[in-house]
Chains A and B, each alone.
Chain A
């Protein structure tokens, strides 16, 4: 039989084999595909997508931090704005309204014309008195005081006040106003008003609080008298602007502006100067309040703390009564805003797992001893007797490559990268802090190595080995909750110790179909934090 014929027969017989692979093979292929592409069939997300997800989360956290920071700065700016909802704003509006109300009194119209600054002194201390119908009944509607009514928007008020100034007065009116101003400048504060002034701490109060309670003046006439009594002092404040606070200026400005709207005989020069100073003064005014507020209430200060830390600790994992102990080293980035803490970072975890291999190997070794026929001698006697000499034989040891198999247990070493994102709440004391935080952690096997499988000797070689039944999933997500405390060594350094409880979203082994066993773990870690 020729070789080709033999080959053809064998080929036909082998090709005729039409056997389907085992039914479970598709599952193996599918799980292998998942492992190959980094997809955990139980997760539904590729490794790339997961990395992107984590990156997006980090960006989100950083964005959140940035927003917080901006909000803090914004809140400071808000405080510095006039007419924000604050005590100062209310006072300004109140005093503005009061000035407006008093100015429109008929008696005041004349007296104010003679001394426009008298309106400053009519801010009553008693709110009820001010708001009583008897005082406001005589108020003439003033259309031009838009700023008072729409004072919710401070800039609008200022602009409206500027825009709605009456037309320039005539030369006669200007002269008259100048003469009045000149006359007022010569007035001196009374001893009574000086005494009152000493009782107030700030120049702002000097400006807005009258020297005598308005409740003492029962009639418009008496009120006018009080105003006139206080006029010299107020005038003094107004004229010596270098000695007065910005608050004083702003109040005087607002009220003077209002007065001008009522009586066009007021000095235009003064109005222009005031209008020009108004925005800056208003902007400066509340800083004092902010500082005062912070001094009075230090808890309202805003914390923006950034820190970097390094932590180390073991993680004890329980997988359906199978125990694993990992060691983790984490680099953390921390942000604290008041009691809110945000933590992320990059960690590396070292894990070990036992794996059993079915190993087949061949060893070149003694197989058997056989008798080898070497030679035989035949002696023939010339006498006719035949003498037979036995053959020469020797024993030969036969060596062969013999198959063996055994089960070997080897350690698989995994190096796992992990990225946590944690949100928490921290309570700070003088030297200590306690905190609780929770979040998610994404982990990815970065490196895998197994101990060298046992090879009996140099005459042996492994011909086949089966991979362990269980292989680790390439990636996983776990949810974690931590409780811990920190000891503040100094302004910059803290020692932290914390205990974590973790629940893994997926099995740490590749399973198809998933077994539904989710490992959990407990870990403790300690670290050093540096606060910037």
Chain B
């Protein structure tokens, strides 16, 4: 008999390994996608998934039932991903040199031609800061104000990084399929 999320949560809080495993199997595929988007490669995605689930199991009892459980897990995983890059970026400031592309308008046919995995690969190729801002804004729906707080950057920086991220993606897509 399939146990409900609530039952699983209760068992996980008690430290039941089987329940933790069941919860992992139920949500890992969805959260794995989140990790892949925020990571620059699969290895980092694995690290984020591991840390994220550890945080989920550790702070499970803090989930009070407000909002969907899956949403809470997803937010936890996103926060883990952000922290992961904050931790590894020791300078705390992305000094990466990036050529600024002029905003151009491309035909939607180009992006429609590429596969989901290719889009993911292109997103992963984005610099860390751009990728995080892009994911937070486009995928999670955060406002630039919230992104600024999360990333410790200004609202304007968030906006400019999002714009650059879009430009980079479009440029890469255009290079691949535009011609």
Contact = CB atoms under 8 A, between A and B. Distances in A.
A399 interface: yes
Q: How large is the interface on B (under 10, 10 to 19, 20 to 34, 35 or more residues)?
A: 35 or more
A308 to B, nearest CB: 40
B111 A461 contact: no
Given A6-B111, A32-B54, A462-B88, A401 B95 contact: yes
A1 B107 contact: yes
A21 B46 contact: yes
Interface in B16-56: 17, 20-21, 24-25, 28-29, 32-33, 35-37, 40, 43-44, 46-47, 49-51, 53-54
A378 interface: no
Q: Is the interface of B mostly helix, strand, loop or mixed?
A: helix
Interface string A136-178: 0000000000000000000000000000000000000000000
B106 A15 contact: no
Contacts of A400: 97
Contact of B28 (A6, A25, A36, A401): A25
Contacts of B95: 364, 401, 461
A21 B49 contact: yes
Contact of A20 (B29, B88, B169): B29
Given A1-B108, A32-B54, A362 B90 contact: no
Given A1-B108, A26-B24, A17 B50 contact: no
Interface in A297-319: none
Contacts of A21: 28-29, 32, 35, 46, 49
Given A29-B54, A463-B89, A10 B119 contact: yes
A271 to B, nearest CB: 76
Nearest to A361: B90
Interface in A9-44: 9-11, 13-22, 25-26, 28-30, 32-33, 36-37
B120 interface: yes
A29 B31 CA distance: 13
A464 interface: yes
A16 B116 contact: yes
Contacts of B90: 461-462
5 contacts: A1-B106, A15-B33, A19-B33, A29-B24, A30-B21
